[in-house]
Amino acid sequence: MAQTAAIRFDRFNVLQDEEAHARIVSARARLGTRAVILCHHYQRPDVYRYADLTGDSLKLSRLAAEQAARYIVFCGVHFMAEVADIMSAPEQISILPDLAAGCSMADMANLAKVERCWRELGQVLGNAEEAITPITYINSAADLKAFCGEHGGIVCTSSNAEAILKWGFAQRGKALFFPDQHLGRWSGSKLGVGLEEMRVWDPDQELGGLSEDEIRSARILLWKGHCSVHQMFQPEHILRWRTRYPDGHVICHPECSYEVCRLSDHVGSTEAIIRTLRAAPANTRWLVGTELNLVNRVAEELRPEGKIIQFMAPLVCNCSTMARIDPQHLAWCLENLAEDQVVNRISVPAHEAKFAKLALARMLEVS
């Protein structure tokens, strides 16, 4: 097919949602099986409605590797589209409808700071390659996944972090866990690691702000990072709710603080939260500590069963960066693809993709 000039986004930015919807439907019909739309559970409703496949990070990692479509349109954030590019076939193309859809947590760790941390750990522990296993949360850039792959490390998700940490200990006895300290702390505690054996590494300080003795005695070094959504949930939100609803149930995501996780009845990934709520008895009440779009979607789905599902925080709290992907960007992206024009391609350099894929393959094997 002869290529035409790419359609500029400014023609779409002014579209009303109804017109954007019509153009999305038309472009998808023209694309047929050449394109597949993947959406994370946190995606805004007016985009999530177009998903061919949905899931959390682990599920979407697997789905990306299974696709036959030429175009993988990822309605999520940047690191998710990178994983899709790494895990898909060379001839497939991964696309992020809005390049501004990033992840503030992922941005809290970068390669330069992780490499400096690794050098400093080597100075204290001897050979870091023999002393500590690097583990990166999937919410991280491709070059950090590649760093882990190259240095005997691995990737984890909120679904499998506990199993991955156990694997990491079996390799070298210690773990460097980045970028989310809360997921690492909760997962470590589930394995019986004491809080005093987990130290927070501040990448903006020499030796992470720790003494050499603290580094040597720690089993897990937790990167000073967090999710801007899940840090909003506080212990008092749970305690106040339990006063009003003593027979209610509380469930939260492991990116929440240790104190919030400890006060919850259940802790799990987005997929685990959805499964738990769907399996719960009818006419039960739940307080849920995770992203607002997901909570609202599941609450509406389960309302006919008499289940009352409430959002944990008193303030609106959603993933603002993922919300940058709107119907206008999706319409623009799909219309360009229908004209055989690729926009916003996410392409991981070959040398990074090689080692990142190795770290992801280790994760999938352990999972």
pLDDT in tens, 261-274: 999 999 999 999 99
Length of the chain: 367
Last residue of a domain, one of 180, 209, 227: 227
Structural domains in the chain (count): 3
Which of the four pLDDT bands, split at 50, 70 and 90, describes residue 155?
very high
Q: Same domain, yes or no, for 296 and 343?
A: no
* Dist. CA 204–CA 215, nearest whole Å: 16
**Is 316 part of a structural domain of the chain?**
no
pLDDT higher than 60, residue 89: yes
Identify the helix (H) or strand (E) that includes residue 288: strand 285-289
Q: Same domain, yes or no, for 151 and 194?
A: yes
pLDDT higher than 60, residue 104: yes
**Average pLDDT of 104-131?**
95
CB atoms near residue 228 (< 10 Å)? 15
Q: Same domain, yes or no, for 182 and 292?
A: no
Angstrom CA distances, 358 to 83, 141, 154, 178, 267, stand at 12, 15, 8, 18, 29
Residue span of the structural domain in which 74 resides? 9-102+322-348
- pTM for the predicted model, two decimal places: 0.91
**Is 343 part of a structural domain of the chain?**
yes
Q: Same domain, yes or no, for 244 and 305?
A: yes
**Average pLDDT of 152-181?**
97
Which of the four pLDDT bands, split at 50, 70 and 90, describes residue 168?
very high
* pLDDT value, residue 320: 64
Q: At 282, which amino acid appears? A: A
Helix or strand or coil: residue 141?
coil
Residues forming beta bridges with residue 178, ordered by sequence position: 136
Last residue of a domain, one of 290, 311, 332: 311
pLDDT higher than 70, residue 4: no
**Average pLDDT of 169-176?**
97
Last residue of a domain, one of 227, 256, 282: 227
Which of the four pLDDT bands, split at 50, 70 and 90, describes residue 67?
confident
DSSP for 142-210 reads: HHHHHHHHHTT-EEE-TTTHHHHHHHHHHHHS-EEEES-HHHHHHHHHHTT--GGGEEEE-TTSGGGG-
Strand 93-95 with 345-346, pairing? antiparallel
pLDDT higher than 70, residue 73: yes
**Average pLDDT of 187-201?**
98
**Distance in Å from the first CA to the final CA of the chain:** 42
**Is 17 part of a structural domain of the chain?**
yes
Which of the four pLDDT bands, split at 50, 70 and 90, describes residue 72?
very high
* pLDDT value, residue 2: 44
* pLDDT value, residue 62: 79
* pLDDT value, residue 5: 67
**Is 360 part of a structural domain of the chain?**
no
Q: Same domain, yes or no, for 211 and 248?
A: no
Lowest-pLDDT range of 151-160, 281-290, 316-325: 316-325
**Residue percentage of the chain with pLDDT more than 70:** 97
* pLDDT value, residue 8: 83
The rounded mean pLDDT for the chain is: 93
Helix or strand or coil: residue 59?
helix
- State the CATH number of the domain containing residue 300: 3.40.50.10800
Q: Same domain, yes or no, for 168 and 216?
A: yes
Long-range contacts of 235-239 (CB under 8 A, 24+ apart): 235/259, 235/260, 235/263, 237/287, 237/289, 237/312, 237/313, 237/314, 238/263, 238/264, 238/287, 238/312, 239/263
Q: Same domain, yes or no, for 206 and 294?
A: no
**Is 362 part of a structural domain of the chain?**
no
**Is 20 part of a structural domain of the chain?**
yes
Identify the helix (H) or strand (E) that includes residue 62: helix 57-66
Q: Same domain, yes or no, for 238 and 165?
A: no
**Is 306 part of a structural domain of the chain?**
yes
**Average pLDDT of 81-98?**
93
Lowest-pLDDT range of 78-92, 175-189, 241-255: 78-92
Strand 35-40 with 53-55, pairing? parallel
Q: Is 171 exposed, middle or buried (0-12, 13-18, 19+ CB in 10 A)?
A: middle
**Is 359 part of a structural domain of the chain?**
no
> Mind listing the pLDDT tens digit for each residue in 334-362?
999 999 999 999 999 999 999 999 999 99
Q: What are 144's two structure tokens?
A: 């950090």
Q: Same domain, yes or no, for 202 and 238?
A: no
Q: At 147, which amino acid appears? A: F
* pLDDT value, residue 1: 42
Q: Same domain, yes or no, for 83 and 117?
A: no
Q: Same domain, yes or no, for 111 and 223?
A: yes
> Mind listing the pLDDT tens digit for each residue in 6-41?
788 888 888 899 999 999 999 999 999 999 999 988
Q: Same domain, yes or no, for 160 and 210?
A: yes
> Mind listing the pLDDT tens digit for each residue in 217-236?
999 999 999 998 899 999 99
**Residue percentage of the chain with pLDDT more than 90:** 83
